[in-house]
Homo-oligomer: A and B are copies of this chain.
Amino acid sequence: MSEAWTKDIQLLLSQTKVAFLSTQGTLGPESSMAPFAIFEGKALLHLSQLAKHSKNIQQTPNIGLVVCTPETKGTSPLALPRISFTGRIEKVSPTNLVKAKSCYLAAIPDALLLFDFTDFTLYQLCINEVYWVGGFGSARKVPIETWLELSKTHRS
């Protein structure tokens, strides 16, 4: 766990608040954005039932997610470090909801008011594949055990 790239993943996850979803629409995959947090190795997403991605995941819970270093002037768009996941999304269970909500709000405090909206639901993505691109020509599959280990501490 002392490899430079595991620290780079932790840095990315601690500095970035939005993720890009890939959900199954009726005519093909669809892309959308949502803020995220990491909780016990899973990605938390707080989604409105009014949004298309929520309708899509009700039909097909297998989704993709990518978190990318935000663009800045002077950084090549070819080389932005990013991490992508695939997995199955499900509602956070009532027994985990208090802890998961607290974790999500620590990352996304602006979302507090949305928890009063009845159309929003807190989901967790149970991750089965992780892929890291550290820059141009620098890519690797991340073993799930490595992901679980590094995700424990990323917001510490």
Contact surface of A with B, Cβ cutoff 8 Å: 16-18, 20-25, 27-33, 35, 52, 60, 62-66, 68, 70-72, 76-78, 80, 82, 84-86, 108, 110-111, 114, 131, 133
Cβ of A84: which chain B residues have Cβ within 8 Å of it? 30-32
Q: Is the CB of B22 within 8 A of A64?
A: yes
A-side interface mostly: strand
Given contacts A20-B66, A71-B16, contact A30 B86 (CB under 8 A): yes
A17 engages B77 (CB within 8 Å): yes
Q: How many copies does the complex hold?
A: 2
Residues on B with C-beta less than 8 A from A86 are 25, 27-28, 30
Residues in chain B near residue A24, CB distance under 8 A: 28-29
Q: Which 4 A-B pairs have the closest CB atoms?
A: A28-B62, A22-B22, A20-B20, A31-B66
CB of A78, distance to nearest CB on chain B (Å): 5
**Given contacts A70-B70, A110-B77, are A65 and B18 in contact (CB under 8 A)?**
no
* A133 CB contacts on chain B under 8 angstroms: 33
Chain B nearest CB, measured from A62 CB (Å): 3
Interchain nearest-CB distance for A26 vs B (Å):
10
